[in-house]
Amino acid sequence: SQTIHQWPATLVQPVGSPLSLECTVEGTSNPNLYWYRQAAGRGLQLLFYSVGIGQISSEVPQNLSASRPQDRQFILSSKKLLLSDSGFYLCAANRGLISMDEQYFGPGTRLTVT
């Protein structure tokens, strides 16, 4: 079974500061990787997904970016945070070669932009 690690667990950052969130996956090769954001009391918004190293697809235009430097590593970044970037950031993964596969989530990073 796969295990997803995320860090940091919580983060408080001022507006205009940079951001780097990291996600790593154990227990599966060639996973599909996903970044979601969940605002308070809201559903999950898909931000980015990746089907392989260096392959990133963006779902919504924003000041965030993602990178996948290794097969099991996914990074979410921003050069300048906005207040609206506050939320619960979740990394998810599923098996890349299996269609309609369920997604499993990491523990999340709670980001507060002040």
Partner 1 sequence: QKEVEQNSGPLSVPEGAIASLNCTYSDRGSQSFFWYRQYSGKSPELIMFIYSNGDKEDGRFTAQLNKASQYVSLLIRDSQPSDSATYLCAVGGYNNNDMRFGAGTRLTVKP
3 state SS of 79: coil
Across-strand partners of 28?
none
Burial code (b: 16+ CB inside 10 Å, e: under 16) for 61-100 equals eeebebbbeebbebbbebeebeeebbbbbbbbbbbbeeee
Residue 19-38 contact track with partner 1, rule CB under 8 A, x = bound: -------------x-x-x--
The distance of closest approach from Cβ of residue 19 to partner 1 in the complex, given in angstroms and rounded to an integer, is 19
Q: Which of 49, 64, 72, 75 binds partner 1 (CB under 8 A)?
A: 49
**Sole binder of partner 1 in the list 3, 12, 98, 114 (CB under 8 A):** 98
The 3-state DSSP class for residue 36 equals: strand
Q: Interface with partner 1 includes 100 (CB under 8 A)?
A: yes
Which residue ranges make up the site for partner 1 (CB under 8 A)? 32, 34, 36, 41-44, 46, 49, 51, 57, 90, 94, 96, 98-108, 110
